[in-house]
Amino acid sequence: MKVFNKIIMTVMILMGFAIPSYAEKIVMEGSTTVLPIAQKAAEVYMQNNSSADISVRGGGSGVGIASLIDGTCDIADSSRPIKDTELDKAVTNGKSVKAHVIAMDGIAVVVNPANKVNALTKKQVKDIYTGKTSNWSQVGGDNQKIVIISRDTSSGTFEAFSTLVLDAQKVRPDAVMQASNQAIASTVARTPGGIGYVGLGFLSSSVKALEIDGVLPSKETVLNNKYPIGRPLFMYTNGAPQGLAKELIDFIKSPEGQKLVEEDGFVGLK
Amino acid sequence: MVRVKEKLYKWLFAILAFASLVFLVGIVIVLFKEALPIFKKVKVLEFLFGRFWYPTYDPPEFGIFPLILASVWVSVGAMLVCVPLGVGSALYLNEIASHRQKAILKPLVEILASIPSIVYGFFGMVVLAPFLQNLLHLPIGLCAFTASLILGIMATPTVCSIAEDALSYVPKSFREASFAVGANRWQTLVKVVIPAAGSGISTAIILGMSRAIGETMTVLMVAGGAAVIPKSFFDPVRPMTSAIAAEMGEAPMGSDHFHALFAIALILFLITFVFNVIAEAISRKYRIKLGLSG
């Protein structure tokens, strides 16, 4: 029993040492699209720097920016540029908001490799997903029913696709919903009439990426804004970031951080 | 000393026995507490019979009728598979199989029950769905039919082993009496044994059904997930369980969507609760009928 007590004491003392007397603490809040990047970056950063204490919350781009203006978070994650109304509010609150682009979001529209169609316009993709177009022959393919495959409506990829392509109109209700980028790719690969969309990081030879408005999706075309289904992802800070916030943003922009970004299916900046 | 010990054990086991009651009550309270706020925003009838499930749009639509129908279709389909299979194999095991056959077959059926549902889901997604898609020329293999088949196979061991138990509870005297008045084996089975075990078999079927309706992982993987009122068995569907599993991770805590998912869980709980109560009532009646216990 005594030995056991000793072990417990030792462990507790060691734990006491492990908790640093001084820990810098920052809060990140905002877009659920940026959330996986923020979460992973925070985890890796905290592993390497035990004195850092980073808490990451979702909530949505608007929530994050509002918190930044109210001063309840240090970094606001956002999948859209800040709005003028939000900027005005920031100024009245005495905040000067600074934007940092940390990654690009690029979404490829994919079909089965056996499909004759190689290119669609953004309008055609929208019509397919909202239900105006339901047969491949209407867009230059074989006479075959279009099987629409979509991400679950709560996912960040869906949200981006919905904003950039569908103008927030509803996907037809009989669309097949899949829980991950990989599930979409493998379903499209097995479904001759299928159409789906995946983050650029999930393209493979088992599916065919379509040209959209004449541009094939690639890292280059997303980064130079030629490809129409892409957008920058932001982190906003109040003024130039300092201390831990600066180090974290620098970490995300570093080659190591950008590797994490690409692992999540986003497009790295370099 | 011995007396104290005895008392101690008595209390200990009483606490353990009541622990499950505590869990049940806790879960029910949480379900109600988290589910009820949605009904301030959406009327109960609109929620239950609304035709569109668009929880993340602005304005959102919280109609779970397609999800309820999907669960019902898939479960009914599963019943069509597991009742003949399960009851049939129970009859074979109890009435026809030799001791050696039974010694091999019964454990095998039970192993079927121990396969994790994700393995069934994976099998359905990778093997069965593409196979059915090619065989029946479907636009997509992930549909209610595929989900029904897989769920039916999954529920078979439940149905089989409970039905087999029910058959084995039929007193030997029943059979002997039947043979004594000159009935053959088939007549004895159909006219005496099955009616005597009837309520036990019904219990087996109902429990199999509640297993099918509550199954999540498999339907998430093979049912296709389209929140639309199914027109045929070959349409992709989105049963209630898969809607919860797919969306709970992303629904912001405390949002309408979050509460709506809890409300789906509550309805699912009420459905399986009713099933279990019916099963319990039937099996109690059957025990009394056979004079096995009070």
The single residue listed with the structure tokens 């009838």 is B45
A46-77 pLDDT tens trace: 998 888 899 988 777 888 888 999 899 999 99
Write the DSSP string, A46-89: HHH-TTEEEEEEEE-HHHHHHHHHHTS-SEEEESSPPPHHHHHH
- Amino acid B219 reads V
Write the DSSP string, B31-82: HHHHHTTHHHHS-HHHHHH-S-EETTSSS-EE--HHHHHHHHHHHHHHHHHH
H or E segment and range at residue A120: strand A119-120
Q: Are residues A196 and A216 in the same domain?
A: yes
Q: Are residues A78 and A189 in the same domain?
A: no
What is the domain range of residue A188?
105-230
CB contact under 8 A, B57 and A191: no
> CA-CA distance, A128 to A122, in Å (whole number)?
10
Residue A121 has phi, psi (to 5 degrees) of -90, 165
Measured in angstroms, the CA of B242 and the nearest CA of chain A are apart by: 10
Q: Are residues A116 and A204 in the same domain?
A: yes
Q: Are residues A117 and A189 in the same domain?
A: yes
State whether the Cα torsion A70-A76-A80-A81 is positive or negative: positive
Partner residue opposite B226 with nearest CB, options A59, A174, A194 = A174
CB contact under 8 A, A177 and B228: no
Average pLDDT over residues B234-261: 87
Report the number of distinct structural domains present in chain A.
2
Partner residue opposite A177 with nearest CB, options B58, B246, B252 = B246
pLDDT band at A269 (very low <50, low <70, confident <90, very high): confident
pLDDT mean across residues, chain B: 89
- CA-nearest of A83, A196, A123, A114 to B224 is A196
- Counts for chain A of helices (H) and strands (E), in that order: 10, 11
> Is A94 part of a structural domain of the chain?
yes
CB contact under 8 A, A154 and B249: yes
> CA-CA distance, B84 to B72, in Å (whole number)?
19
Residue B128's pLDDT is 93
> CA-CA distance, A169 to A150, in Å (whole number)?
14
Residue B237 has phi, psi (to 5 degrees) of -135, 165
A17-56 pLDDT tens trace: 554 445 688 999 988 778 888 989 999 999 988 888 999 8
CB contacts of A174 in chain B (<8 Å) are: 226, 228, 235-236
CB contact under 8 A, A176 and B140: yes
Pairing relationship of beta strands A97-111 and A230-238 according to DSSP bridges: antiparallel
How many residues are present in chain A? Answer: 270
Instruction: Count interface pairs A-B at CB distance under 8 A.
Output: 72
Q: Are residues A135 and A251 in the same domain?
A: no
> Is A13 part of a structural domain of the chain?
no
Q: Is the pLDDT of residue B139 over 90?
A: no
Residue B292's pLDDT is 55
B217 and chain A: CB distance < 8 Å anywhere? no
CB contacts of B249 in chain A (<8 Å) are: 154
CB contact under 8 A, B246 and A179: yes
Q: Which residues contact B207 (CB under 8 A, 6 or more apart)?
A: B158, B159, B162, B275, B276, B279
Average pLDDT over residues B134-155: 92
> CA-CA distance, A121 to A129, in Å (whole number)?
13
Q: Which residues contact A133 (CB under 8 A, 6 or more apart)?
A: A124, A127, A139, A146
Q: Are residues A239 and A258 in the same domain?
A: yes
> Is A1 part of a structural domain of the chain?
no
Q: Are residues A118 and A215 in the same domain?
A: yes
B51-63 pLDDT tens trace: 999 887 778 899 9
CB contact under 8 A, B66 and A173: yes
Partner residue opposite A154 with nearest CB, options B133, B225, B250 = B250
Q: What percent of chain B has pLDDT over 70?
A: 96
Residue of A nearest to B247 (CA): A154
Q: Are residues A138 and A254 in the same domain?
A: no
Question: What pTM did the predictor assign?
Answer: 0.74
Q: Is the pLDDT of residue B207 over 50?
A: yes
> CA-CA distance, B113 to B161, in Å (whole number)?
10
B129 and chain A: CB distance < 8 Å anywhere? yes
Residue of B nearest to A35 (CA): B250
B184-195 pLDDT tens trace: 988 988 888 888
Q: Are residues A117 and A206 in the same domain?
A: yes
Q: Where on the phi/psi map is residue A148: left (φ > 0), alpha (ψ -120 to 50), or beta?
A: beta
Instruction: Using an 8 Å CB-CB cutoff, list residues of chain A that contact chain B.
Output: 32, 58-60, 145, 147, 152-155, 158-159, 168, 170, 173-179, 187, 190-191, 193-194
> Is A12 part of a structural domain of the chain?
no
CB contact under 8 A, B55 and A153: yes
Q: For residue A141, what is the domain's CATH number?
A: 3.40.190.10
B137 and chain A: CB distance < 8 Å anywhere? no
pLDDT mean across residues, chain A: 86
> CA-CA distance, B97 to A65, in Å (whole number)?
71
CB contact under 8 A, B236 and A187: no
Q: Are residues A97 and A161 in the same domain?
A: no
Residue A203's pLDDT is 84
A151-173 pLDDT tens trace: 877 677 888 888 889 988 888 88
Please, where are the H alpha helices in chain B? 2-35, 38-41, 44-49, 65-91, 99-114, 117-123, 129-136, 144-169, 172-180, 185-187, 194-214, 217-222, 240-248, 256-289
pLDDT band at B197 (very low <50, low <70, confident <90, very high): confident
CB contact under 8 A, B56 and A190: no
Cis preceding-peptide flag for B130 (omega within 30 of 0): no
> CA-CA distance, A209 to A192, in Å (whole number)?
14
B101-121 pLDDT tens trace: 989 998 898 888 889 999 999
Among B67, B250, B258, B264, the residue to mutate for chain A (most A Cβ within 10 A): B250
Q: Are residues A70 and A181 in the same domain?
A: no
CB contacts of B70 in chain A (<8 Å) are: none
**Judged by CB atoms within 8 Å, which residues 38-67 of B form the interface with A?**
52-58, 66
> Is A259 part of a structural domain of the chain?
yes
Q: Are the beta carbons of A113 and A207 closer than 8 angstroms?
A: yes
Q: Which residues contact B104 (CB under 8 A, 6 or more apart)?
A: none
Residue A151's pLDDT is 86
Structure tokens at A190: 């097995």
Residue B253's pLDDT is 74
> Is A9 part of a structural domain of the chain?
no
- Amino acid A4 reads F
CB contact under 8 A, A152 and B129: no
Residue A219 has phi, psi (to 5 degrees) of -55, -45
CA atoms within 13 A on the CB side of B42: 24
State whether the Cα torsion B62-B63-B64-B70 is positive or negative: negative
Q: Are residues A120 and A214 in the same domain?
A: yes
Q: Where on the phi/psi map is residue B127: left (φ > 0), alpha (ψ -120 to 50), or beta?
A: alpha
> Does the ipTM exceed 0.85?
no
Among A146, A152, A163, A166, the residue to mutate for chain B (most B Cβ within 10 A): A152
- Range picked from A16-25, A80-89, B246-255 for highest mean pLDDT: A80-89
Partner residue opposite B225 with nearest CB, options A32, A154, A176 = A176
The helix, strand and coil proportions of chain A, stated in percent and rounded to the nearest 5, come to 40, 25, 35
Among B127, B142, B241, B258, the residue to mutate for chain A (most A Cβ within 10 A): B142
> Is A6 part of a structural domain of the chain?
no
> Is A156 part of a structural domain of the chain?
yes
Q: What percent of chain B has pLDDT over 90?
A: 48
CB contacts of A190 in chain B (<8 Å) are: 129-130, 133, 141
Q: Are the beta carbons of B178 and B188 closer than 8 angstroms?
A: yes
State whether the Cα torsion A237-A240-A245-A248 is positive or negative: positive
